Amino acid sequence: MDNQDKKPRFGLRKKIKELLSPINLVGLAIGAIAGFVYYRLFGSSPTNGPISSSPYLTILWGALIGFLITDIAYQSFKKRK
pLDDT at residue 32, as a whole number: 96
User: Which has more confidence, 9 or 29?
Assistant: 29
Region of 20 (left: φ > 0; alpha: ψ -120 to 50; beta: rest) is alpha
Sorted by where each begins, the domain ranges of the chain are: 21-80
Distance CA 40, CA 44 (A): 7
pLDDT value at position 42? 82
pLDDT tens, position by position, 26-52:
999 999 999 999 888 887 666 767 766
Q: What is the mean pLDDT of residues 2-6?
A: 57
From 5-14, 15-24, 26-35, 52-61, the region with the lowest mean pLDDT: 5-14
- pLDDT band at 17; cut points 50, 70, 90: confident
Q: How sure is the predictor about 8, in pLDDT bands with cuts at 50, 70 and 90?
A: low
